[in-house]
Structure 1
Amino acid sequence: MKSWRFWLPAVATLLLGMDGVYMEDMRAENINLLTPTDYNMVLNLGMRVLPRDCYDMLMTSSGKARDGVYLIQPGDTPIVAYCAMQEGGWTVVQHITVNSSVDFDRTWDEYKNGFGDVTGDHWLGNKYLHQLTLGPAHYKLGVKLVDRDAVTKTGEYDPFLVEDESTAFRLRLGLFQGTAVDALTTDTENYLHDNQKFTTKDRDNDNYFQNCAKLEFQGVPCGGWWYDACAGANLNRRNVIYWQKDCNKEHLCKYAWMMVRPSDLVKMIYSGDCKKDEL
């Protein structure tokens, strides 16, 4: 960090608060994603002006912040999030382990507000995805997949936006690059996830004659996702993480992450008279 004085307010909070933490410092709206015994894991308690996201926190610390849980404030109220600082200041918005003990078969409100444990398997929340990607800067989405042989594949969509609840948290994606296949914007029949609304077991917004979130594989529902009819990718299937040929029932993956950070794009890309992406 810039100096040890940067962390003195947090240290004082840990020493003087009940159970190691002043509860007023844990004013995060999504505090349910952190167990009380883990409150002291938050690395920037006592920080007067909270960062907007993990990348903002990394820049504030002159690049010295470490991986862990931080308070950030992408909207009107603070939230807790896990920051992958060593990878460049990514804000983790989803993590899943195959056959996770965390149930991803959740309702619309649960996907909206987030669930799970921010230090492990979780969904940060669609309304926070919207707040993070709303700007003022453009954001990009990072996907990380790890198979059973510990082979890691990654991909990025730049730019990336989740629209507000009035649009059913519609997904908007830009150009793709990475070692993983493009499983979200490839124009394959019935499997184009870009521009799709979010669907849960109690809110059917997909393009299939049944609710894709209710369909089961090995007795496990598919969970909430931006379905088409139904999926070329789904990182919320906790029995089989699915990402076309990279992760499926024949090629099992152990872990998957979704992360966001500010975009590398300075301006939107145009082609002739037509916008490539109108985010």
Structure 2
Amino acid sequence: MACVRSWLPAVALLLHSVGGVNMEHLQAENLNLLLPDEHNFILNHGMRVLPRDCYEMLMTSSGRARDGVYLIQPDESPIVVYCDMQNGGWTVVQHITVNSSVNFDRTWAEYKHGFGVVTGDHWIGNEYLHQLTRGPGRYKLGVKLVDQDAITKTGEYDPFLVEGEPSAYRLRLGLFQGTAVDALTLDTENYLHDNQRFTTKDRDNDNYFQNCAKLEFQGVPGGGWWYDACAGANLNRRNVIYWQKDCNKERLCKYAWMMVRPSDTVKLLHSEDFKKDEL
């Protein structure tokens, strides 16, 4: 019961209306990913010890946290993210709408620190992807695709790791499961995204004789991605969301999300600790 009482301030904070809260001293390394008039959207502003991800926030709130913008702290500095709490505490790291007004044709520095708005289309930033997924503990990647007929397909890669900048934010992926096709680790001759380094228009790390991020379709460049030579999937091209057979120029998709969460093994450990603390 003592631990339950210790959670009450956090729960009360989540249920408290943020209207009128002084946001003057709000600290977040990527505060530019939130519009100034959306600063009061942050649901855990004032929380003394920040969670390292959305799943930890969900556990801290005894499962009461709702979808929305939160401060998390995967490393030394807090960042703002959008949390999908309804589906189990996913930290959203990318969202794109076909023909988005957000330009995904960005530089290495912009992909490193993130761009867009966390309440809409955005890329959270490769550095924060690295901070989140390097642990402690394993993480998994979730992908959600919605086509023009509102049919949703999903997939998960467990584990999921983005290495640091010295390795050009190399992508490491584990086993896949889901209703979508495996477009990242399927072993095709030129489209194996697993173990690839990140490429942007000003930093060519792919395996093609040209820069894949510069190649255009209908006048729109590819955007930053973990290209091979070049892509079996690309969720950062804003005119056509591409995921092999699920999303392409013949089968148009309207939305795509990328999200991270502790792997099922880590979640189980969290859950067991949570139950013990309640006793």
Does TM-score exceed 0.5, indicating one fold? yes
Q: Which amino acid aligns with 1:226?
A: W
Whether the 8 Å contact between 1:240 and 1:249 is mirrored in structure 2 is: yes
**Deviation string, structure 1 residues 85-126 (Cα, Å, up to 9, x no partner):** 001000000000000000000000000000000000000000
Tell me by how many angstroms 1:264 deviates: 1.2
**What fraction of aligned residue pairs are identical, expressed as a percent?**
78
Q: Which residue of 2 aligns with 1:188?
A: 188
Distance 2:255 2:223 in 1: 16
Tell me by how many angstroms 1:6 deviates: 3.5
Once the two structures are superposed, the pairs formed by residues 247-262 of structure 1 within 5 Å of their partners are 247-262=247-262
Distance 1:108 1:60 in 2: 35
Q: Which residue of 1 aligns with 2:120?
A: 120
Q: Which amino acid aligns with 1:128?
A: Y
Whether the 8 Å contact between 2:11 and 2:64 is mirrored in structure 1 is: no
Aligned residue among 7, 12, 17 for 1:7: 12
Distance 1:225 1:7 in 2: 40
- Structure 1 runs of 4+ with >2 Å offset: 1-16
Q: TM-score, normalised by structure 1?
A: 0.90
Q: Which residue of 1 aligns with 2:172?
A: 172
Distance 2:164 2:88 in 1: 27
**Deviation string, structure 1 residues 4-39 (Cα, Å, up to 9, x no partner):** 77435995975352xxx2x21x20000000011000
Q: Secondary structure at the match of 1:239?
A: coil
Distance 1:242 1:173 in 2: 19
Once the two structures are superposed, the pairs formed by residues 223-262 of structure 1 within 5 Å of their partners are 223-262=223-262
Q: TM-score, normalised by structure 2?
A: 0.90
Tell me by how many angstroms 1:206 deviates: 0.1
**Deviation string, structure 1 residues 38-71 (Cα, Å, up to 9, x no partner):** 0010000000000000000000000110000000
Q: Which residue of 2 aligns with 1:129?
A: 129
**Deviation string, structure 1 residues 179-207 (Cα, Å, up to 9, x no partner):** 00000000001000000000000000000
**Deviation string, structure 1 residues 232-267 (Cα, Å, up to 9, x no partner):** 00000100000000000000000000000001136x
Q: Which residue of 2 aligns with 1:269?
A: none
Runs of at least 5 residues in structure 1 that lack an aligned partner in the other structure: 267-279
Runs of at least 5 residues in structure 2 that lack an aligned partner in the other structure: 267-279
Whether the 8 Å contact between 1:7 and 1:44 is mirrored in structure 2 is: no
Q: Which residue of 1 aligns with 2:273?
A: none
- Is 1:68 aligned with 2:57? no
**Deviation string, structure 1 residues 138-171 (Cα, Å, up to 9, x no partner):** 0000000000000000000000000000000000
Distance 2:14 2:194 in 1: 43
Distance 2:171 2:35 in 1: 30
Cα distance, 1:5–1:186 mapped onto 2, change above 3 Å: closer
In the alignment of these two chains, the number of paired residues is: 261
Q: Secondary structure at the match of 1:265?
A: helix
The alignment's C-alpha RMSD in Å is 1.7
Whether the 8 Å contact between 1:58 and 1:65 is mirrored in structure 2 is: yes
